[in-house]
Amino acid sequence: MSDALKHECGIAQIRLLKPLEYYKEKYGTAFYGINKMYLMMEKQHNRGQDGAGFANIKLNTAPGDRYISRIRSNEAQPIQDIFEQINGRINDEIKANPEYADNVALQKKNIPYVGEVYLGHVRYGTFGKNSIESVHPFLRQNNWMHRNLIVAGNFNMTNVNQLFNNLVEIGQHPKEKADTVTVMEKIGHFLDSEVEKLYKKLKKQGFSKVAASPIIGEKLNVAKILRKSSKNWDGGYAMAGLLGHGDSFVLRDPAGIRPAYYYKDDEVVVVASERPVIQTAFNVDFDDVHELPPGHAIITKKSGEVNIKEILEPLERKACSFERIYFSRGSDAEIYKERKMLGRLLMPEVLKSINHDTINTVFSFIPNTAETSFYGMVEAAQDELNKQKNDAILAEKETLTDARLKEILAHRLRTEKIAIKDVKLRTFITEDSSRDDLVAHVYDVTYGVVKPEDSLVIIDDSIVRGTTLKKSIIKMMDRLNPKQIVVVSSAPQIRYPDCYGIDMARLEGLVAFRAALELLKDNNQYDIVEKVYEKCKLQVDLADEEVKNFVKEIYEPFTDEQISDKISELLCDTDVKANVKVIYQTVDNLHKACPKNLGDWYFTGNYPTFGGNRVVNRAFINFYEGNEGRAY
The total number of residues shown for the chain amounts to 632
Cβ density class 231-249: b for 16+ within 10 Å, e for less:
eebbbbbbbbbbbbbbbbb
Each domain of the chain, given as residue ranges in start order, spans 10-317, 323-625
Sheet harboring 51-57: ordered strands across?
68-73, 51-57, 117-123, 9-16, 268-272, 261-264, 290-291
What is the CATH T-level fold of the domain 323-625, as seen in this structure?
Rossmann fold (3.40.50)
Superfamily of chain region 10-317: Aminohydrolase, N-terminal nucleophile (Ntn) domain (3.60.20.10)
Q: DSSP letters of 321-332?
A: HHIIIIIS-TTS
- pLDDT at residue 396 greater than cutoff 50: yes
Q: Report the chain's terminal Cα–Cα distance, integer Å.
A: 24
User: Do 212 and 202 contact (CB within 8 A), yes or no?
Assistant: yes
- How far is the C-alpha of 478 from the C-alpha of 177, rounded, in Å? 48
Tell me if residue 458 falls in helix, strand or coil.
strand
pLDDT at 198 over 70: yes
- For residue 630, name the pLDDT band (cuts at 50, 70, 90): confident
Confidence bin at 49 (pLDDT 50/70/90):
confident
C-alpha span between 366 and 464 (Å, rounded): 14
Region of poorest pLDDT, from 33-47, 160-174, 338-352, 542-556:
160-174
Integer Rg of the chain from CA: 28
Mean pLDDT of the chain: 91
H/E run at residue 309: strand 306-310
Residue 427 pLDDT: 43
**pLDDT tens, 106-155?**
999 999 999 999 999 998 765 545 688 889 999 999 988 999 999 999 98
Q: Considering the entire predicted model, what is its pTM?
A: 0.92
pLDDT at 448 over 60: yes
Instruction: Give pLDDT tens digits for 450-470.
Output: 999 999 999 999 999 998 899
Mean pLDDT confidence for 532-549: 96
Read off the pLDDT band of 48 (50, 70, 90).
confident
263's enclosing H/E stretch is strand 261-264
Q: Of 127, 310, 326, 320, which Cα lies nearest the Cα of 226?
A: 310
CA-to-CA dists, residue 171 to 89, 119, 174, 228, 386, angstroms: 41, 30, 10, 17, 72
What is the identity of the amino acid at 319?
Answer: A
* Burial class for 630, CB neighbours closer than 10 Å (0-12, 13-18, 19+): middle
- Region label for 6, one of left (φ > 0), alpha (ψ between -120 and 50) or beta (otherwise): beta
pLDDT of residue 170: 67
Position 583 confidence tier, pLDDT thresholds 50, 70, 90: very high
pLDDT at site 130: 66
pLDDT at 175: 61
> How far lies 471's CA from each of 110, 424, 475, 566, in Å?
56, 15, 7, 17
pLDDT over 70 (residue 434): no
Confidence grade of residue 631 (pLDDT, cut at 50, 70, 90): confident
Q: How confident is the model at residue 201 (pLDDT cuts 50, 70, 90)?
A: very high
**pLDDT mean over 565-569:** 97
What pLDDT is recorded for position 520? 98
Measuring CA to CA, how many Å separate 620 from each of 48, 180, 296, 492? 28, 26, 34, 21
pLDDT at 602 over 90: yes
Residue 570 in 3-state DSSP? helix
How far does Cα 150 stand from its chain's mean position? 22
pLDDT in tens, 80-92: 999 999 999 999 9
Asked whether 38 and 300 are in contact (CB, 8 A), the reply is no
Residue 173: pLDDT band with limits 50, 70, 90: low
Q: What is the pLDDT of residues 417-433, one digit of tens each?
A: 998 876 555 444 444 45
Q: Look up residue 24 and give its amino acid.
A: K
Report the percent of the chain where pLDDT is more than 90: 80
pLDDT in tens, 296-337: 999 999 999 999 999 999 999 999 999 899 888 889 999 999
Residues of the chain with pLDDT > 70, as a percent, come to 92
Closest CA to 346 of 519, 462, 451, 453: 462
Please count the CA atoms within 13 angstroms of the CA of 232 that sit on its side-chain side: 16
Helix (H, G, I), strand (E, B) or coil at 101: coil
Q: Pick the range with the lowest mean pLDDT from 200-204, 247-251, 504-508.
A: 504-508
- H/E stretch holding 14: strand 9-16
* pLDDT value of position 430: 43
3-class SS of residue 16? strand
> E-assigned strands of 68-136?
68-73, 117-123
C-alpha atoms less than 13 angstroms from C-alpha of 65 in its C-beta half-sphere: 19
pLDDT confidence of residue 419: 85
